[in-house]
Amino acid sequence: MSIAPMKKLSLFAAGDDCDAIVSGLMKLRCIEIVTADAEKEALPACEYPGEKADAEASVARIRSAVAALEKYSVRKFALLKPKITVDRDAFASDGSSERAWETVGKVEENLKETSRIEDEIRAAEDLLRVAEPWYDDTLPLDFEGTATTSFVRGSLPGGTDIGALTEALAERFSYLTETSSGGGTVYVGVYTLNGYSDAAAKLLASVGFVKAALPKSPKTASALSREASSKVSRLGKEKEKLTEELRTLALEIDDLRVLCDIESTVLETFRNREKMLSAGPVNYLTGWAPAEKQEKVEKFLSGFACAYGFEDPTEEDDPPVLLKNNAFAKNFEWVVGMYSYPKYGSYDPTFIMAIFFCILFGMMFADAGYGLLFILVAFVGVPALKIKGKLKKNITMFGWCGISCVIMGILFGGFFGDLPYEIATKMFGAPEFKQAIWIDPVKDPLSFLIVSLGVGAAHLIAGMAVKFYILCREGHVLDAILDIGLWWVLFGSVALVALVPNVGIWVLVGAALAVILTGGRREKNWLMKPIKGFLSLYGLINYCSDLLSYSRILALGLASSIIAMVLNIIGTMPGNTVAGWALLIAVGIVGHPINIALNALGAFVHTSRLQYIEFFGKFYEDGGREFVPATEIGEFTDIDDE
Amino acid sequence: MNIWEFVTNILFQPASLAVLGAALAVILPGWGSAKAVGFCGEAVAGVMSEDPSKFGKALVLNILPATQGIYGFVVAFMVMIKTGIIGGGYSLTLNGGLYLFAACLPMAVVGYISAVKQGKTAVAGINMVAKHPEASGKAVTSTALVETYAILALLVSVLFILFMPAALTAAA
């Protein structure tokens, strides 16, 4: 309901205490540490390059170990994985931390060994591939000829006329043997009498002979291959053993995750300490804290030899914004945040917005069945899966909207679309009946449109009321009455015209005249006053277009209920048979989730739009910055951010 | 059969006209949505190659232009009920067929254009989210502004169909 007042903390502390103070403040989670302005204060910033680099290296080592083990870990699904609950201090003192570091070392050793083995396997497999064409060659691979001849192995392109080549080589005192052929290549060995090698080489080059690149080995190709393949299978077994070891180490992955959070917190502490300025033996820290947390911070700081003060923000300051809302409305703060946080010191609209959000969402997605699913996920699933933090708020918000969907679904007749109606009439031949207890938007869209616009009018008037309140709070009561109150009279008189035309028309004329007369009151130039006054009556068109914008409630409501209806019509086509029920269930299981996904998104986006443009447009001052307190890192572990 | 006979005997029949309108209401907005969601998907893939953690925010923008296709489908479905293709029980006059054809046009035409234009806004939004993920609400809002016109077209088409004068239909 409100924006928390902030206090600015200035703190001087002995350099030795800084680590304890900053990490203590991070545990308290109620101070946003600000990067101090080194130029303004004419002091150098604190720097910890060495410590920071060490911490970064530690985090990187743990992260790569965790990433390697994740493949073998049982808990894979990140979204549903509850955070680890652990006492960090106990973890550090009872030796778990050392054991986790040992595990990191083992994983690193293992990965190094694995990659070495993989390299060796690759080399052996390369050898197998190279040696394959020479299996039938009985000569050792390093054989290069006898005392009177030279010998060379190589390949010729397939289709070479071997007979002709053999004859041509014979003229150059050479002898060709074919070893094997395959893949469009012929593998040959060529003996040449000493002194004729150049002539033979020239001829061979002209037919595309390529010398084979074989390892120099006194063994034959087949012997070498046998060795290589036995090596591959032996290395494969070793690799298997290493993988098995990783699988065992993966059982300790949660300890590594805890260690990762602890080391990341150390790194974060250094990052926060670098926001301080150094003034000789003492360091200077500035930050923002909610005023209500001042006492808590003071109590913590009293344990240290330090000087500090809390001040109210001045005009020059840019305090961060912390919204304070009840258990219901705080789930909607992120919707406000998606637009922009309100300016510090302005009005927090979350609560009113949350109420209208539920109503508008419920009307656009008026289905009791879908609403029940939302409620189930938000109020049963979230606690069961121990989902916390931002995600919990996101889902809980849809849970509250689900309650509204159930109510609207009963009013406007939606339970998985018209499922009860289709089952009763098609499966059991019941007479036609009205599923909605109030209005069925598919059968009577006009009434539903009128209800939509009525809710829209209430929403707009609520927005204007907030502006009225803000103006009064700032002491501009006259502005509030003339800029907002007169419009309400004008709106009221439109309704009055419909009820009591004789009186209403005069009230309407009077209100319009009042708007024209007062609209130009801020204008200095007397000539401009009436012109500005007439122009302000133009605001009526804006209000009309704002109001018509709420017709989207009908459109989105129809879209979701008609798609559900199509699913139900298809599902009940075969009638009351086993196949019929099977089809109904199958169509429902596939179709309804798709309908929910598409139309819940549409309802969310368009409800948000009605809030941002039609509602916020009336009063909202944006441009606030979210309060982000310095905190321990809780990527994997539970730091209880409630 | 010459062209004139084709037009009068086949095309200018009540059911043909209504079905033609319904078909256009599915084809054009569906075409536009498919196109728009397609090029949004390309943009999302580009952003994902840099930072997969923004997928959730980018996905919302990616599927925003999908709704026109759904709206077109809703209109077509209502025509099917009105013409008795589903459920039976109605028979149209020639004027009735022409009326339903015309009723489908707002959704068919505006649905196509708004889907494509909304897709372009969404692509710009996706690129913005890549740099400023915290501003995704603004990107979604400005993209949703385009949809206003598809919603108005849907409303008009639906209201035309639902409030079709009884004289244009005759009980079968």
Summarised one tens digit per residue, pLDDT across range A346-356 is 999 999 999 99
**Same domain, yes or no, for A266 and A353?**
no
Tally the domains of chain A: 3
Q: Which residue of A has its CA nearest to B133?
A: A338
Q: Which residue in B has a C-alpha nearest to residue A558's C-alpha?
A: B74
Co-location of A371 and A272 in the same domain: no
Reduced to 3 states (helix: H, G, I; strand: E, B; else coil), residue A196 is: coil
User: Are A417 and A461 contained in the same domain?
Assistant: yes
Percentage of chain A exceeding pLDDT 70: 98
Cβ–Cβ < 8 Å for A281, A14: yes
| Rounded-to-integer distance, Cα A24 and Cα A3, Å | 26
Is residue A108 situated within a structural domain?
no
Which residue among A445, A559, A566 places its CB closest to the CB of B71? Answer: A559
**Which domains does chain B carry?**
14-171 (1.20.120.610)
Residues A266 and A342 in one domain: no
Q: Kindly give, in sequence order, each residue whose CB lies less than 8 Å from that of residue A468, ignoring residues fewer than 6 positions away.
A: A480, A484, A485
CB A540, CB A493: distance < 8 Å: no
Mean pLDDT, residues A123-143: 87
> Is there a single domain that holds both residue A336 and residue A431?
yes
Separation in Å, CA of A553 to nearest CA in chain B: 10
- Find which of A321, A333, A338 to mutate to test the B interface (most B CBs within 10 Å of its CB): A338
| CB pair distance less than 8 Å for A339 and B138 | yes
pLDDT of residue A193 exceeding 50: yes
The residue among A609, A613, A615, A620 with the most chain B CBs within 10 A of its CB, best to mutate, is A609
In a domain, A198, yes or no: yes
Same domain, A346 and A293: no
CB contact under 8 A, A605 and B144: yes
First to last CA, chain B: 29
Are both A284 and A396 inside the same structural domain? no
A469, A542: one domain: yes
List phi, psi (to 5°) of A238. Answer: -60, -40
Asked whether the beta carbons of residue B141 and residue A608 sit closer than 8 angstroms, the reply is yes
Q: Do B64 and A606 touch (CB under 8 A)?
A: no
Give whichever of A6-10, A126-130, A430-434 has the largest mean pLDDT.
A6-10
| A602:B86 CB<8 A | no
Residue A521 lies inside a defined structural domain of this protein = no
Percent share of chain A, pLDDT over 90: 51
**Is B151 touching A (CB cutoff 8 A)?**
yes
**Model confidence over B149-159: pLDDT tens digits?**
999 999 899 88
- Test B70 with A551 for CB contact under 8 angstroms: no
Q: What is the mean pLDDT of residues A219-228?
A: 89
Domain-located, residue A225: no
- Strand boundaries in A226-337, DSSP class E: 277-279, 282-290, 306-311, 323-324
**Which of A338, A601, A602 is the closest to B137 by Cβ?**
A338
Q: Which residue in B140, B152, B158 is closest to A558 by CB distance?
A: B158
Per-residue pLDDT of A415-442, as tens digits, reads: 999 999 999 998 888 898 889 999 999 8
Q: How confident is the model at residue A574 (pLDDT cuts 50, 70, 90)?
A: confident
List, as ranges, residues 429-488 from A with C-beta within 8 Å of B. 445-446
* Average pLDDT of chain A, as a whole number: 90
Is the residue at A548 inside a domain?
Answer: yes
Query: Looking at residue A177, which CATH number applies to its domain?
Result: 3.30.70.2750
Which 37-76 residues of chain B touch chain A by CB within 8 A?
60, 63-64, 66-67, 70-71, 73-74
Q: Which of B78, B93, B120, B69 shows the shortest CA–CA distance to B17?
A: B93
Q: Is B114 on the interface with A (CB under 8 A)?
A: no
pLDDT tens digits for A245-295?
999 998 888 899 999 999 999 999 999 999 999 888 889 999 999 999 999
Would you say residue A220 lies in a domain?
A: no
Q: Is A339–B77 a contact, with Cβ atoms under 8 angstroms apart?
A: no
Q: Which of A605, A608, A610, A615 should we substitute to test contact with B (largest number of B Cβ atoms within 10 Å)? A: A605
End-to-end CA distance of chain A: 18
Distances (CA, A) of A305 to A12, A17, A281, A282, B23: 9, 8, 13, 11, 80
Residue A575 φ/ψ region, left for φ over 0, alpha for ψ in the -120 to 50 degree band, beta for the rest: left
Establish if B10 touches chain A: CB-CB under 8 angstroms.
Answer: no
- A468 with A577, same domain: the answer is yes
Alpha-carbon Rg for chain A, nearest whole angstrom, is 40
Q: Of the segments A4-18, A268-282, A306-320, A455-469, which one has the largest average pLDDT value?
A: A455-469
* Tokens (6 digits) for B137: 């609400």
Among chain B residues, the shortest Cα distance to A441 is held by B162
Tell me how far the alpha carbon of residue A513 is from its chain's centroid: 53
- In chain B, which residue's Cα lies nearest the Cα of A446? B159
- Predicted local confidence at residue A642, as pLDDT: 47
- Cα separation, A60 vs A113, in Å, equals 19
Of A529 and A68, the one with more pLDDT: A68
Boundary-marking domain end, from A265, A283, A311: A311
Structural domain includes residue A641:
no
Q: Hey, are the CB atoms on A605 and B60 less than 8 Å from each other?
A: yes
pLDDT value for A528:
83
At which of A196, A213, A230 does a domain end?
A: A213
Q: Which of A555, A609, A613 sits opposite B154 (nearest CB)?
A: A555
Residues of chain B found within 8 Å of residue A551, distances taken between Cβ atoms: 151-152, 155
Q: Confirm whether A128 is domain-assigned.
A: no
Of A562, A569, A602, the CB nearest to B67: A602
Asked if A457 and A548 sit in the same domain, the reply is yes
Interchain contact, A552 vs B73, CB within 8 Å = no
pLDDT for position A101: 94
Domain that holds residue A379: 329-475+538-620
pLDDT in tens, B51-102: 887 888 888 899 889 889 989 988 998 898 888 777 776 678 888 889 999 9
Q: Tell me if B152 and A551 make a contact (CB, 8 A cut-off).
A: yes
Q: Is the pLDDT of residue A444 over 90?
A: no
Q: Answer whether B144 touches A (CB < 8 Å).
A: yes
Q: How far apart are CA A228 and CA A125, in angstroms?
A: 7
Sign of CA dihedral A531, A534, A540, A545: negative
A377 plus A450 within the same structural domain: yes
Contact A104, A259 (CB under 8 A): yes
Minimal Cα–Cα distance from A560 to chain B, Å? 9
Q: How confident is the model at residue A408 (pLDDT cuts 50, 70, 90)?
A: very high
Choosing among B78, B132, B158, which should be mutated to test the A contact, i.e. which has the most A CBs within 10 A? B158
**Which residue is listed with tokens 């005392």?**
A147
Contacts of A255 by beta carbon, 8 Å cutoff, 6+ apart: A96, A99, A100, A103
How confident is the model at residue A333, as a pLDDT?
A: 94
pLDDT band at B143 (very low <50, low <70, confident <90, very high): very high
Q: What pLDDT does A393 receive? A: 93
Query: CA of A598 to nearest chain B CA: how many angstroms apart?
Result: 8
Instruction: With CB atoms and an 8 Å threshold, state whether B64 touches A605.
Output: yes
Residues of A in contact with B163 (CB under 8 A): 446
pTM: 0.83
For residue A518, the model assigns a pLDDT of 86
Q: How far is A450 from chain B (nearest CA, A)?
A: 13
Q: Do residues A293 and A439 share a domain?
A: no
Collect all residues of chain B within an 8 Å Cβ-Cβ radius of residue A569: 86
**Per-window interface: B 74-113 vs A, CB < 8 A:** 74, 77-78, 86
At A451 the pLDDT is 95
